[in-house]
Amino acid sequence: MSRPPAFLVPILERYPLQAGPLLTSLYDISLSVGWIDIRILQLEGWVVLLGHRRKEDPVRAVVPTPIHTTSLHPSSLKSIFSQLSRLDIENLPEIIPALAPTLDELRSRSNSKTNMGESHPDLSKDEKDDEAEAGENDRVVEKTSDSESRIDRETLYLAIVTPDSTVVYYKLSKGIKKPADVPDE
């Protein structure tokens, strides 16, 4: 198995109960589900993933847990919801590095390399690579400057990870909500 990204190692070591589920949930959310702007936050003894699927969506919280956990009690959930209610967008941790480029980024790179080869035939390969990298840096700045404006403080996703790496998500709401009050995504 490959090694986890270096920025995750201290968190994985600090939270051994959540280490496997955190890594599996992070890969699933970012690569399969397609969440963006993912952050890792430590709340009341639990690691929580924060992110959203689209920029216009609120930031949502996911608590990765192993299937056999008996540690997540109602008091823990109450504490997590309480801490979520006090979070501010400005005080969230930094967005973690992307685990892989998105399909749109790959298309953009492919198009820019194709266009660059045609529009600058007199540039060396190193100069073309520098221009492509500068364009990518502009895109990153653009992405981070258009920050999200709200956090979903009423919903918490529980990511339950099985030994075969299947991830099942349960949507927990603060209080009792009718099914019509809980929007599907």
Which residues are CB-neighbours of 123 under 8 A, at least 6 positions away? 116, 131
pLDDT tens-digit readout, 38-67: 999 988 788 999 999 888 889 999 999 998
Q: What is the pTM of this model?
A: 0.70
pLDDT tens-digit readout, 8-44: 888 888 988 899 999 999 999 988 888 888 999 988 7
Four-residue CA torsion sign, 162, 28, 173, 50: positive
Q: Token pair of 48, please?
A: 């929580």
Task: Output the CA–CA distances (angstroms, integers) from residue 62 to 41, 54, 65, 79, 89, in the order listed.
Answer: 10, 16, 10, 14, 16
Question: Can you tell me the mean pLDDT for 77-92?
Answer: 86
Question: Given phi > 0 = left and psi -120 to 50 = alpha, else beta, which region is 31?
Answer: alpha
Q: Token pair of 158, please?
A: 């529980």
Query: How many CA atoms, within 13 angstroms, populate the side-chain half-sphere of residue 136?
Result: 18
Task: Output the CA–CA distances (angstroms, integers) from residue 73 to 68, 112, 152, 159, in the order listed.
Answer: 13, 51, 21, 15
171 strand-pairing partners: 157
Closest Cα to residue 63, out of 51, 54, 55? 51
User: Would strands 59-66 and 46-52 be described as parallel, antiparallel, or unpaired?
Assistant: antiparallel
